[in-house]
Structure 1
């Protein structure tokens, strides 16, 4: 399924009044995981600005021990500070990377803004080296913009 075909499905999930916010987020994770072959782990982290930590939210994929990540640590922690997308074509070449699994080869993290504030991010791991393109970034920015309406 193309990103263009996925967009209305994401919107439909966010507008579903019978689901809680976390159920909507989990459903979006499942949709992306099922629809994009190289999206092998899809999840959300949410910021606690007082403690400067990220906390794992709904996700689909292998279990992770990384339920709390300090700002600045790993790819997610760096995005919490930079407020910018971060695409890692090969995690083995990244110094400040928190290894989740030896199967993870690349990662993309896109921040989630609500009223101009970075409240969290969508994090996607892939078992493929360098699969992410500018199209992935634009699509995930769209996803985050849709999700921002839930807050």
Structure 2
């Protein structure tokens, strides 16, 4: 399914006021993980209160032990500090990578802003080498803008 085809489905999910924000975010994770062939794990991490760490929110894919990630550690922790997208075509080439699964070959993390503040991020792992393009970044930035509206 193309990103263009996914946009209205995401709008519909996020617009369902009968569901909690967590339920809507879970449905977005599930949709992305099942609709984009190289999105093998899709999850949201959020700033954990006043702590300098991220806490795992809703996700779709294999369970992970990485429920808390300190700022600066791994790709997610680096994005929490840099406030910039981070595309990793080959996780083996990263010296500050936290391995979630031996199958993960690539990762993309896009920060989620609310009122100009980085409050979290969407994290996607892929079992495919170098699958992410500029289109993924643009699409995931759009997803985060929509998710921020319900938070």
Fold similarity call, TM over 0.5: yes
Deviation at 1:18, TM superposition (A): 1.4
5+ residue gaps in structure 2? none
Whole-angstrom CA distance in 2 between matches of 1:136 and 1:69? 23
Shift in Å, 1:120? 0.2
Q: 1:51: Cα distance to partner?
A: 1.2
1:126 deviates by 0.2
Structure 1: gaps spanning 5 or more residues: none
Corresponding residue number in structure 1 for 2:149: 149
Secondary structure at the residue paired with 1:131?
coil
The whole-number CA distance in structure 2 between the counterparts of 1:39 and 1:114 is 24
**Are 1:61 and 2:86 an aligned pair?**
no
What's the CA shift for 1:139? 0.3
How big is each residue's C-alpha offset from its partner over 1:66-86, in whole Å with a ceiling of 9 and x where there is no partner?
Answer: 000000000000000000000
Cross-structure match for 1:90: 90
Partner of 2:9: 9
Shift of residue 49 of structure 1? Answer: 5.5
Where in structure 2 are the equivalents of 1:2-151 lying within 5 Å? Answer: 2-48=2-48, 50-151=50-151
Following TM superposition, where does structure 1 have runs of at least 4 consecutive aligned residues deviating by more than 6 angstroms? Answer: none
